[in-house]
Structure 1
Amino acid sequence: MHRITITLDDPLTDAFEGYMAKRGYGNRSEAIRDLIRERLQHEQLSTQPEGDCIATLSYVYNHHERELAARLTSAQHDHHDLTVSTMHVHLSHAHCLETVILRGPSNRVRAFADTVMAQPGVHHGNLALLPVSAREQAHRHGTDAAEGDSEHRHLHLEPLT
């Protein structure tokens, strides 16, 4: 870890201290690191739109809206290569909250999210993307191949920032 020194004018320092207090940061270093990570993530996603990401897509919808639930399910099936998992919560007799975990090229994830959020009856849509490096790795979980511990592959994702 490197130690750096920065100089800020008084109004910026006051605003930063307010930001830290509002967010509950205990020290300036962690707040600065998070702000830098956030900016670097934004830059990564804007300069490499085809780069890999992991994302959450959350939205509320009225399940009484004509055929909406079927359209949303169909959209997820049509993009099964991006959809990792979906959590469905009943908020009321009419409204549901869904959170979809997505993985893949960020331009495709964004396009899918835009399609879902543009559906009539979908409200409060939000997409959070995290750029990642994706690599496949082979390994074993045990030590004895004779006991059925064959080598297998997993996709490993690492945040880029």
Structure 2
Amino acid sequence: MQRITITLDDALAEELDAHMKATGAAGRSEVIRDLVRRGLATVPDAPGEAQCFGIISCAIDQSVRGLAARVPQGRLDRHDQTVAALSVPLDHTTSIDVTVMTGRAADVTTYAEALFAERGVMHGALGLVPVARDSEPHVHGHGSEQAHTHYKVRTSL
């Protein structure tokens, strides 16, 4: 077994202690191991090449130095993958941000995990929706046949 050291803010440490008492865990190490195991079990392990839409959501402390500029820049750097972005202000410094991206599961997951690792980003969640692309030419209403992309939702990645 390895020994590691982590730093938690006071509020998170209090939540951890409350969870420890509620679950009957013998100590912080036990409860942290359990939470890490459960957290890792929720990490998408989709094939990297699988096409998907990713819904990335998190709370952002906009007062953390440079974060308010880095988050939108990260989306701009991936403008070909970013479908939509929404930022909902909660108070003077905190927002809930939701980004919808498309592309390879590996690329969407890598972006989300890098975002969640940023200091000031909290409650990160990633949902992957597997899709297949269809680009057959066809007619909508009246007019001539034209090719455009349709996405078909699949049951798995």
Corresponding residue for residue 55 of structure 2 = 56
TM superposition shift of 1:139: 2.4
1:123-158 deviation digits (Å, cap 9, x = unpaired): 11111112222222322322244xxxx624123232
Cα gap change, 1:83 to 1:66, in 2 (>3 Å):
same
1:74-89 equivalence runs, <5 A: 74-89=73-88
Corresponding residue for residue 136 of structure 2 = 137
Give the strand-richer structure, 1 or 2: 1
Structure 1 residue runs of 5 or longer lacking an equivalent are 1-41
Letter in 2 for 1:158: V
Structure 2 residue runs of 5 or longer lacking an equivalent are 1-41
Aligned-residue identity in percent: 27
Check conservation: 1:134, 1:158, Cα contact below 8 A. no
Q: TM-score, normalised by structure 2?
A: 0.65
Tell me the secondary structure at the aligned position of residue 126 of structure 2.
strand
1:42-71 deviation digits (Å, cap 9, x = unpaired): 9xx636221111111000011111110110
Distance 2:136 2:98 in 1: 28
Give the helix-richer structure, 1 or 2: 1
Tell me the secondary structure at the aligned position of residue 120 of structure 1.
coil
Distance 1:126 1:47 in 2: 15
Distance 1:144 1:52 in 2: 31
Distance 2:139 2:115 in 1: 39
Distance 2:83 2:126 in 1: 15
Which one of 140, 146, 155 corresponds to residue 150 of structure 2? 155
Check conservation: 1:133, 1:160, Cα contact below 8 A. no
Tell me the secondary structure at the aligned position of residue 137 of structure 2.
strand
Distance 2:56 2:99 in 1: 5
The alignment's C-alpha RMSD in Å is 1.9
Cα gap change, 1:47 to 1:95, in 2 (>3 Å):
closer
Check conservation: 2:129, 2:153, Cα contact below 8 A. no
Q: TM-score, normalised by structure 1?
A: 0.64
